Structure formats: structure tokens, C-alpha cells
A = this chain, B = another copy of it.
């Protein structure tokens, strides 16, 4: 499974474990501005009972083109309407396609038949590579383009969060014992890992906790963020 260190993939890990899977986590260090989410991924893999956790480097800063991989400002304080309008500057070109391909490579190498990813098409940031039709098309390409698929041992992509609202993901993770204090969501955290509370990712997270009637245990740079 693809494990980012965020709230969504932490919940996916807990779901896969509950379904009885031995989980091999894959985290890609792609040039994010900060190492905090990698530390979270490591801790989550351990605490939620992953069998293995691989971290692989792929420096997408070589390409740039996103607020997450180039020296561009992360948008702050945007409303739901603004977030809903088109694909934002935090979109990393072809990221999920690259990540899914790498997860397919790992799955094929270790003989796994199931691949989990925490994409979500409801409370998301408008990324085209989070939508069901993309996942379905990628699944088809992967079946045709791998030895596993060629030999009839297809690797199936699971997207258990696809149709859940953020509040439902949080509720599901809580039931399964995910410690959300260990998850990192912010696009632009402080050096100590505290979340900004103002980027699109923080906005969607805080709104999800509010809708779920829960308090977000993450640390924010300004405590006022939590009561937005």
C-alpha cells in the first residue's frame, strides 16, 4: 500500500489490517518540502502493524511544476468554493500515476495481489488522479503491462476511501484505532511539524473533524486554527 503519513493513508492501513492483509507499506520521498510526513509514515507503519515499510527516493523537484515540489507559495485561507474551482497549484504532475506504478512494481516483485491507495473523490482538492475513472483506467493499463497481469494473477487496486466524506474517513479511522496525532496533512508545516491550519489540506481536515464532532489532536502553529 501507498503510505504517505497523512490521515487518509493511515486509515487505509488500518482498514487493510482489519481485513486480514499483511501490509507492505511504500512511502515515496519525492521532494516534499518537509520530512515530517515521512516520520509520521514510519511511526504509523509500526504502530498499525505493517509487516514491512519501504521508503524510496524520487526527487520530483527535478521537474518542479507544483507548490509542493517547487519554490511556489502554497495557497492559504481559501474557501470551499475556491477549493472546488479547478485544479490547484499544489497538484503535482502525474503524481498518483507515478506512485501507483511504483506500488505495482513493488507488488509484482513481492508477489502481492492487492494494492491499497487512499484516494478520495469527495472531500478532495480537485486532483484528476484521485477520481474513480482514472483508477479504473490505470488498473486496466497495469493488467496489460505487467507480468503478473500477463500470467492471469492480476494485482487489484483497492480504494476503500473513494466514496467517503472526510468526516466518515475520520470516523472509520477512529473506530480502527488510528492515532490521528501521528498523521501529517498540512502542505506547509512549520519545521517542528506543526500544521499551518490554513492551506487547503488543513482546511479539509479541520472541516472533517468538525463534521465528525471530534477534536483534531494534531499540533497547529496557531491554536485558533482548530476553532475555524
The count of identical subunits is 2
In the complex, which residues 53-107 of chain A have their Cβ closer than 8 Å to any Cβ of chain B? 54, 56-60, 62-65, 87, 91-98, 100-102, 104-106
A98: B residues at CB distance < 8 A: 98, 101-102, 105
Q: What is the size category of the interface that chain A forms with chain B?
A: 35 or more
Counting CB contacts under 8 A, is A142 at the interface? Answer: yes
Give the contacts of A161-189 with B (CB-CB under 8 A). Answer: none
Q: Does A198 contact B (CB under 8 A)?
A: no
Interface residue A32 (Cβ < 8 Å from any Cβ of B): no
Contact A101 B108 (CB under 8 A): no
On chain B, the residues within 8 Å of A57 by CB distance are 57-59
Contact partner, A109, options B64, B104, B128, Cβ 8 Å: B64
Grouping DSSP codes into helix (H, G, I), strand (E, B) and loop, the A interface class, with mixed when no group exceeds half, is: helix
Q: Are B134 and A141 in contact (CB under 8 A)?
A: yes
Given A87-B150, A137-B141, A147-B87, CB of A105 within 8 Å of CB of B131: no
Chain A residues 137 to 166 lying within 8 A of chain B, measured CB to CB, are 137-138, 140-142, 144-147, 149-151
A200 at the interface (CB under 8 A from B): no
Supply 18 A–B pairs (Cβ within 8 Å), ascending by A: A54-B62, A54-B63, A57-B58, A63-B109, A87-B150, A93-B104, A93-B105, A93-B108, A95-B105, A96-B145, A98-B98, A98-B102, A128-B146, A128-B147, A128-B149, A129-B146, A133-B144, A138-B141
